[in-house]
Amino acid sequence: MTIREFQPGDEAAFRDLNTEWITKHFQLESKDVASFADPSATILHKGGKIYLAEQDGTPVGCVALLLRQPGEYEVGKMAVTAALQGTGLGRRLMNHIIEQARVLGADRLYLETNDTLLPAVTLYRSVGFQDVPAERVVPSPYARANVYLELPLRN
């Protein structure tokens, strides 16, 4: 298993990995469609990063860092193909993205999820993410978001 940066030609894998989990639990929203239509424009050219996990050359997971403001990134579009869920790949992707955020000089990571995705919420909390205080929660563009977490990376 390897984790590498997004390359031209990875658009379909990024879209398909995310569409698999989103449509299983929710429905695609307009922001999803825009991100998948052109991840270079919506994520990479705005200062973000995308990483893909591969097994024997086949993409099996992905995660993105979306620049929110200087020093702050949102962890988004994290997906592990159904066949490999529960194998530790999600934890590897989270550890990788946290390390990459530190390399980029991030002070804070933020993410939004849904409480019905209990394995994901448990994973995020196990690597140090904590609930954003209610008074600091900003409304999400995603109807499915109802859990807001953050991970301070610097004191």
Q: d(Cα 54, Cα 112) in Å, to the nearest integer?
A: 25
DSSP bridge pairs for 73: 67, 109
Q: What is the pLDDT of residues 39-93, one digit of tens each?
A: 999 999 999 999 999 999 999 999 999 999 999 999 999 999 999 999 999 999 9
Q: Residue 85, SS3? A: coil
Q: What is the pLDDT of residues 125-139, one digit of tens each?
A: 999 999 999 999 999
Residue 155 confidence (pLDDT) above 70: no
Domains (ranges, CATH) in the chain? 2-110 (3.40.630.30)
Query: Whole-model pTM?
Result: 0.95
